Amino acid sequence: MKFECKDLERALEVPELMPDAREHARDCPGCRRELWVWAEMSRIASGLRDEWESPELWTRVRQSLDAEPKPKQVRRWDWRLMVGVAAALLIAASAALWYPMLPHPARPAQTDEAFLTDQALKQVEQAESSYAKSIEKLSHVAESKLQGTQAPLAAAYKEKLVMLDSAIAELKTTVDQNRFNAKLQAELAALYKEKQQTLQEILQREQKN
């Protein structure tokens, strides 16, 4: 496009056209003057800023602030925390399904009741699998929080989780060799529950901080 005098006004509004306007103004005294006036307004305007010292102003602001209550802290729910809460709810729901299927630990079971039937075992294993998956999700959230801190408490939690994972792995190996043993299944459930509580504690502490 060949830049003409009539395009100048548009160029003053659209900065992208300014290089063409300047090029044109080299040979056009009218447009050159117009551009100069425009730039001169900016130059003069930059000197309009009013500055003065107000040594008392911060003191006044501070005194007003001192009379104010502290700003309320609004907790922002980050997505990891929300995932954690959702996972915790899922675990609670899974546990509610799983626990009634297990023999009550406080009541000594009869020898023949200590062994699960095929149908009951299937249900227990399904519930356990779902419970373990839910705990795994919760574990991802909580462990990502633990990794971000070097606090001694965090180190203690990490250690406890390692111990629990090790105990769960060991007991699962034993359960695999004796899948119909309700007592072992109950012990495994108790370990999972312990891990769940630990993870929830970590998240609750994180929320408080």
- In whole angstroms, how close is the CB of 118 to another protein at the nearest point? 55
Could you tell me the smallest distance in angstroms from the CB atom of residue 66 to another protein? 8
Rounded CA gap, 4 and 21, in Å? Answer: 8
Quick one: 62 or 122, whose CB is closer to another protein? Answer: 62
- Least distance to another protein from the beta carbon of 70, Å? 4
- Which of 73, 117 has the CB closer to another protein? 73
Angle between helical axes of 152-177 and 182-208 (0-180°, round to 10): 160
Closest to another protein by CB, 55 vs 152, is 55
Q: How many CB atoms lie within 10 A of CB 156?
A: 10
181, β-bridge pairs:
115
The minimum distance between CB 63 and another protein, in angstroms, equals 10
- DSSP state letter for 167: H
Please state the separation of Cα 118 from the chain's center in Å.
Answer: 42
Which residues sit at the interface with another protein, rule CB under 8 A? Answer: 9, 12-13, 15, 37-38, 41-42, 44-52, 54, 57-58, 60-62, 64-65, 68, 70-74, 76
Rounded Cα–Cα distance for residues 91 and 194 (Å): 12
